[in-house]
Amino acid sequence: MPTLQFKGKSFVQSHHLTVPFHELIPVPERSLTDRVCLEDNLIIHGDNLAALKSLLPQYRERVDVVYIDPPYNTGTESWVYNDNVNAPMLKAWLGRVVDRDDLSRHDKWLCMMMPRLRLLRELLAPGGVIFVSIDHNEIHHLRCLMDEVFGEENYRDTIVVRRGAKNVQAQFDTIGALSNGYESILVYSRNPDVRFQKVHADEEDPRPGGWNRHWRGTDRPTMRYPLFGITPERGQWRWAEARSLQAIRNYERMLSDLGEQGLPVTQENIDRWYLEEVQRTGQPVDLLRLSATGMPEHYIPPGRRPLLSNLWTDLRPTGHHQAAQILGGRVFDNPKPVALIQRLIRFATARPDVIVLDAFAGSGTTAHAVLDLNRADGGCRRFILMEMEAYADTITAERVRRVIRGVPEAHDETLRRGTGGSFSFYRVGAPLDPEGLLSGRTLPAYEELARYVFHTATGEPFRPEAMDRRRGFIGAGRDAEVYLVYEPDLEILKSLSITPEYLRMLGPPGWRRRVVFAPARWVDDALLEAAGVEFAQLPYALFQVRGDGG
């Protein structure tokens, strides 16, 4: 397989292995939950490289869907290379804005992306899927890089979506009079056996020019009347009452002629038929002109619509309008629409309990999409967002708070009601380093250190609910029980050790080996062997690099 060469590649190929694990510090006052924990929906404030590495102990091979929208490297985004790689050339890049005149901007972008993609692959479940939004500036480089990280055989498709007019105007005209009216989404799976779900065109905006179904956001009281069990308190229906009722009668006659049973007369089903007609003819449909026997022979009943191609131009780039409705103003030039993220999730899996990770969270669209899907179908999907900028709380998390609680002034009824749900807010803390532990300068919380040592010993996800602090038990892997004798207090640590009394408390050994992390031991090898214990001395045993990339 051909590989892509770029400046700095030799230094970043294994950089994800040298990134230290960091503490993930809970921030209750920024959370929206009764109990802050790492098994909740998560918003993590800090560098996403450190955050991804620090999630490995708990989420290795557990994430079902990854969606990322990294910098497109247009030369106008003012992004900065911040990875502290141990190489003089890359250290010279630190903190410098990458602009259009930077002759090494493509190299810097690839050096930034490579370790993050490697960690995302480690987090992705065996049946997982990753989607990466990108445009023409880097798609050719990204495709080569992802072939190398995920495997060429795991490339599945490239999806094309429309982009907003503002962004079209902002692009540099590098190809004459043509502006760039689309973006791409590269699709890779963790393994080539992953099968995707069927997806259909968007029912919210079925006509290429955009059609807002029966509802309008203007305010004419004479256009308010009961329909589909709804009497609007604000806004209005699209059609006058007589026209709407005639359309319903036509739809009912169509169902009778086709012998369709059990299909309710709802706005959604009428719109679905409308969409199929528009897709077939390319023209609007006047339901009033249809006679009782005037349904076309090619009609496809609701629920059996034609599948979409990889050209998703039916989705309008309305992300900035959605974010403005919630946050009260324009916060980003091109936030993704909620419908796009929802379709990607549905395309990846039909399961209602998946974990969705977004490492470049921005305005929080991915969380909004997950919460809205759960509200619609009763699912229990979870999101993990990462954002390094200062707006992680004021924009990213604030949008999620308002989506959960409801936005009373929003035009959209779902936004007004709120989706319900919760999330825990964390920030990336100090790295776990031997010197800090030895000196007592940086002593992590017990559960933070437990997460890491369990992963060090087993390479498996940590389950905090399995812990028994009295015995120092922190979990059992496939072939090892793991124990941690530790307290985040330097004076107490000086007196902690494995003693004969501690070994007697553990009881007789089972078939699994026992790994006990402790600052010291006051027993000899014979007693350890009789108890089936392997002693791992703190802090030195923490930083033995595992051969599988952990």
Q: What is the pLDDT of residues 220-244, one digit of tens each?
A: 777 788 887 777 766 677 777 887 8
Q: Does 160 map to a domain?
A: yes
CATH of the domain at 87: 3.40.50.150
Cα separations (Å) of 410 from 171, 212, 369, 370, 417? 31, 16, 17, 19, 9
Q: Does 83 map to a domain?
A: yes
> Is residue 269 located within the same domain as residue 158?
no
Those residues whose C-beta lies under 8 Å from the C-beta of residue 507, and which sit 6 or more positions away, are none
Q: Which domain holds residue 509?
A: 432-543
**Residue given tokens 């812990």 in the structure block:** 467
Q: Does 205 map to a domain?
A: no
**Model pLDDT, residue 546:** 39
Where among 306, 321, 352 does a domain terminate?
Answer: 306
> Is residue 321 located within the same domain as residue 243?
no
Q: Does 380 map to a domain?
A: yes
> Is residue 277 located within the same domain as residue 134?
no
**Model pLDDT, residue 291:** 41
Q: Is the dihedral of CA 138, 143, 144, 149 positive or negative?
A: positive
> Is residue 189 located within the same domain as residue 324?
yes
**Model pLDDT, residue 222:** 76
**Model pLDDT, residue 189:** 97
Q: Does 206 map to a domain?
A: no
> Is residue 185 located within the same domain as residue 328?
yes
**C-alpha–C-alpha distance, residues 459 and 482, integer Å:** 12
pTM above 0.85, yes or no: no
**C-alpha–C-alpha distance, residues 10 and 297, integer Å:** 62
Q: Do 448 and 428 meet the contact criterion of CB atoms below 8 Å apart?
A: no
Here the tokens at position 415 are 């936004």
Q: Do 475 and 461 meet the contact criterion of CB atoms below 8 Å apart?
A: no
**C-alpha–C-alpha distance, residues 183 and 311, integer Å:** 11
> Is residue 173 located within the same domain as residue 251?
no
Where among 275, 306, 337 does a domain terminate?
Answer: 306
> Is residue 133 located within the same domain as residue 269?
no
User: Domain count of the chain?
Assistant: 3
> Is residue 537 located within the same domain as residue 407?
no
Where among 306, 324, 353 does a domain terminate?
Answer: 306
**Model pLDDT, residue 286:** 58
**Model pLDDT, residue 271:** 64
Cα separations (Å) of 482 from 174, 516, 534? 58, 6, 10
Cα separations (Å) of 95 from 78, 99, 389, 391? 11, 12, 14, 19
Q: Does 239 map to a domain?
A: yes
> Is residue 482 located within the same domain as residue 395?
no
Q: Helices H, strands E: what count in the chain?
A: 20, 18
> Is residue 335 located within the same domain as residue 384?
yes
Q: Show pLDDT as tens, one digit a residue, over the chain (550 residues).
A: 778 999 999 999 999 998 988 989 999 999 999 999 999 999 999 999 999 999 999 999 999 999 999 999 998 888 999 998 989 999 999 988 999 889 999 999 999 999 999 999 999 999 999 999 999 999 999 999 999 999 999 999 999 998 865 444 444 444 445 677 899 999 999 999 999 988 766 544 433 333 334 444 456 777 788 887 777 766 677 777 887 887 788 777 777 777 776 667 776 666 666 666 655 665 655 555 554 344 444 444 444 445 568 888 878 888 888 888 898 876 777 889 999 999 999 999 999 999 999 999 999 999 999 999 999 999 999 999 999 999 999 999 999 999 999 999 887 788 889 999 999 999 999 888 766 666 667 788 899 899 988 988 888 889 999 999 999 999 998 889 999 999 988 888 888 999 999 999 999 998 889 999 998 999 999 999 999 999 998 877 665 533 344 3
Q: Does 32 map to a domain?
A: no
Q: Does 1 map to a domain?
A: no
**Model pLDDT, residue 298:** 43
What Rg, from alpha-carbon coordinates, does the chain have?
A: 28
> Is residue 241 located within the same domain as residue 254?
yes
> Is residue 269 located within the same domain as residue 341?
no
**C-alpha–C-alpha distance, residues 179 and 168, integer Å:** 6
Q: What share of the chain is helix, strand, coil (3-state, %, to 5)?
A: 35, 20, 45
